[in-house]
Amino acid sequence: MTGTATKTQETFKTDRSSRLFERARAVIPGGVNSPVRSCKSVGHDPIFINRADGAYMYDQDGNSYIDYVGSWGPMILGHRHPRVLEALEDALALGTSFGAPSRLEVEMAELICEIVPSIEMVRMVNSGTEACMSAVRLARAFTGRELIVKFDGCYHGHADSFLVKAGSGLATLGISSSPGVPEAASKLTLSIPYNDVDKLREVFAKKGSEIAALILEPIVGNSGLIKPNEEFLKAITGLCRDTGALLIFDEVMTGFRVALGGAQEMYGIKPDLTCFGKVIGGGLPVGAYGGRKDIMERIAPQGDVYQAGTLSGNPLAMAAGLAQLKFLRANKDAIYKEIARLTDRLHQGLDLAAQKAGVAAQISSVPGMLSFFFTNNDVTDYESAATSDTKLFGKVWRGLLQSGVYWPPSQFETSFLSLMHSNREIDETITVFDQVLQEVK
């Protein structure tokens, strides 16, 4: 699973992508099915991908790229990993969807409960958005309260409750909320700065008895990568415990990536509920939420909190996800050590390149995830991330793309590494980044 990504300006062509984009704009709003793919904030038309393999993607014009999007996180083993493909082929021979229980979804639930100690029961859904939406409904029912606390720049999907000062595509497009979200729904969501312990305590002092849950990305990936500080995590766990509010970890990005047990394993925290996304489907559309048994037993048909889904537990997604998670579990030490090493190598290389070019840049990383911010400020929350020079980011992004590196097309997203990245891809990326900075600074 190797490829070549080095190109010159002269050999980089986008004619076929451009024609596809024109066709798409006639029948798809904005020409894309998810806003950040539009590449508007980086001053480029979207690139239409034809295929992917290992650490590489190939577009409709034949350009190849070292891929740092990884389908926004789930491709921990890279594209087209043999174990995942074999599992999909076996499942496909038996059928694509049943709308009834199957053995694979039981095995998936058992495996998640085994890997993640905070989860005693789990419900399969179809996306990270659905998982977060369902977890919040469950928390409100369990506590008998209505208010939700979230953090500025954190994105938990596009349900109404979450589109208040959300990150990801909204931050990329400069949208703080969204038309169509009722004011009444917005009033039930309290959004405060990430890592701001004083504000957190203030909110809980005023509203603690009304707060059903606090939901957060334990490591922010939707404002670029932002790590929590120790005091912040202690305050969150203590305030939830003292007030009876449920603690919900959105591990759609971090689950099974930063560690086998996710960010909660890394930080030694057991949230009440956890949300997962496409990582548990090996990249296929899937999600899940799980947690304490006494909470999860409130879900219908065992309990009275309704949530359903025709494709929940889809056999293809379960087969692919099981193959990936079993491979990760069986090779845990070697895989996570290697991904951490590769991430650190990339972090150090990009940092040195920025210093060499005399460009102010903050590099933030955890194993398997990395962002660079063009700012002099330490990035600890969305407000400090927003001080980044987004015009410079756009120039750098275009330079990377034309030289065969596909970086997330937004200052406010994080990149993802896979096991299929090697020193070769990392070093080539650093070289290209260095050259691009020298050209655009």
Q: Which residues are catalytic?
A: 155, 250, 278
Cβ proximity of 238 and 205 under 8 Å: no
The CB-side HSE value for 39 (13 A sphere, CA atoms) comes to 18
Look up residue 185 and give its two tokens.
């729904």
Q: Which of 154, 223, 225, 227 is nearest to 192 (CA)?
A: 154
| Buried-exposed string 239-276: b where 16+ CB fall within 10 A, e elsewhere | bbeebebbbbbbbbbbbbbbbbbbbbbebebbbbbbbb
The CB-side HSE value for 405 (13 A sphere, CA atoms) comes to 24
Distance CA 172, CA 179 (A): 16
Distance CA 37, CA 64 (A): 18
Q: Which residues pair with 58 in a beta bridge?
A: 51, 64
Distance CA 42, CA 186 (A): 30
Distance CA 275, CA 254 (A): 10
Cα 397 to Cα 42, 64, 283, 322, 419: the distances in Å are 7, 15, 24, 35, 23
Q: Is 217 helix (H, G, I), strand (E, B) or coil?
A: coil
Distance CA 248, CA 163 (A): 17
Q: Which of 116, 120, 354, 46 is nearest to 256 (CA)?
A: 116
Look up residue 236 and give its two tokens.
């969150």
Q: Which residues pair with 364 in a beta bridge?
A: 371
Look up residue 10 and give its two tokens.
């002269």
Question: Residues near 190 by Cβ (< 8 Å), separated by ≥ 6?
Answer: 147, 148, 149, 150, 203, 207, 211
For tokens 């949530």, name the residue.
Answer: 307
**Cα three-residue angle 31-36-37, rounded to 5 degrees:** 50
